[in-house]
Structure formats: structure tokens, C-alpha cells
Chain A
Amino acid sequence: QKEVEQNSGPLSVPEGAIASLNCTYSDRGSQSFFWYRQYSGKSPELIMFIYSNGDKEDGRFTAQLNKASQYVSLLIRDSQPSDSATYLCAVNRLGSNDYKLSFGAGTTVTVRA
């Protein structure tokens, strides 16, 4: 079982719609959760992080965390063509020596005009 799993996509949504991305993780001891966006040929850039159960909103982005279900999601409201990218879920946990950040393989999102 992979530590962090995401649907690879591609997820195609019309402009203006809501894109919903899901991520599950295997380690119940995971403590912090991150969403990165990566445009083709570019480096990952942080969208947002979440530590506590519930929702966290930042502009058009909402992260949702449910630790009991080991599930974190990202909603993109009013999707724009500029949101077309691969979205990486990352989960931080304290390992034997230090914190370890594990990444999912990413979900590719295409916003069609």
C-alpha cells in the first residue's frame, strides 16, 4: 500500500466549475498535509497546508481534512484554464529519525474553456 494515494486523472472540468481532488494516506500518525501545484516542466509550488480536521479556505481553494478517514481533499472553485496543472498531495509524519514528507503521484487537472 502506498503511503499517499491520489487518482492520477486526468480530471477534466469546464471553466467555472468546481474541481474536486482526493488524497488518502496510510499512516494514522500523519500530522500535517499539503497541496502543491505543479505546472508542466516547473517545480511544485505550495497552494496550502492543513493541520486540523475540517475545512480551510484560501481564495478559490478549500482543503478538507478528515483524520479519522485518513482523507484529505482539495476543492478548486470557479476553475480557470490557469488551474490546469498536476496537483500533488503531501503528508508529513514523524518517522524514526525525523519528519518525513511523502508525496502522492499527483492528479492532473485540465480546465476546458
Chain B
Amino acid sequence: DAGITQSPRHKVTETGTPVTLRCHQTENHRYMYWYRQDPGHGLRLIHYSYGVKDTDKGEVSDGYSVSRSKTEDFLLTLESATSSQTSVYFCAISLDRGETQYFGPGTRLLVL
């Protein structure tokens, strides 16, 4: 998985609780991304980062926030989880803008 780890790999939580997912890379790639994958929708971009403390929104960013305090770590936070956020979350990295993206192993999140 191109030196990308995600934690936790599985999580069950309750509606209304905060959840933080972590993506860690050892490749020193500039760009990092968070996607969610749902049946029938494919992969949709939530947020991405183009450097430390530099982030921007994707197409499905509502209800999510991100932070990147170090090159290697990109955190995705669900401030108050809802059942509609039940999904598989993938982190991806790319060396630079427009370059090939490589994916982490994913996190399965179930919000009850």
C-alpha cells in the first residue's frame, strides 16, 4: 500500500459521537486525500491537503474536518457522526499535484 497506513481499520460508533481517522505515510508525498466509498457512488473526495496546514474541500466535505500538522499525518474528523457517514474511508497520497494517487488499506466505519 505504498507506505500508507490507516487507523483504526474498523470502527463502530454511535450517532453523535466524534470520530477521528488517521492516515500516516512514509513516502514524504506532498498531497494527501480522504475519500469515502459507497455502493453506487464510487470514490468521492472529502478533503485533501497540499502541504502542512494546507487543506481544501472536496465534493462531499459537509460534516467532516481535517488537519495536517506534519507531512506524514492527515487526520479526518467527524465532529458528530451520523448514520449517513457509515462508509469505507480511504486515504490516498500523491507526490505532487496531478500525479498518480496511491491508496491506503481503508477504514470501515459503522455509525449506529
Interface positions of A (Cβ within 8 A of B) = 4, 31-32, 34, 36, 42-46, 49, 88, 90, 92, 94, 97-101, 103-106
Using CB atoms, name the residue of chain B closest to A34.
B100
Select from chain B the residue with minimum beta-carbon distance to A44.
Answer: B103
The 10 nearest A-B residue pairs measured at CB: A105-B42, A99-B98, A103-B43, A43-B103, A103-B42, A44-B103, A43-B106, A99-B97, A43-B105, A98-B97
Interface contacts (Cβ under 8 Å), in number, total 45
On whether the beta carbons of A46 and B100 are closer than 8 Å, the reply is yes
Task: Say which size band chain B's interface belongs to.
Answer: 20 to 34
Chain B 44-58, CB-CB to A under 8 Å as 1, else 0, gives: 110010100000100
- Interface SS of A by simple majority: strand
What are the residues of chain B within 8 A of A46 when measuring CB–CB? 100, 102
28 A-B pairs within 8 Å (CB atoms) are namely A4-B42, A31-B98, A36-B103, A42-B105, A42-B106, A43-B1, A43-B103, A43-B104, A43-B105, A44-B90, A44-B103, A45-B103, A46-B100, A46-B102, A49-B100, A88-B42, A90-B43, A90-B101, A98-B48, A98-B50, A98-B56, A99-B97, A100-B45, A101-B45, A103-B42, A103-B43, A105-B40, A105-B41
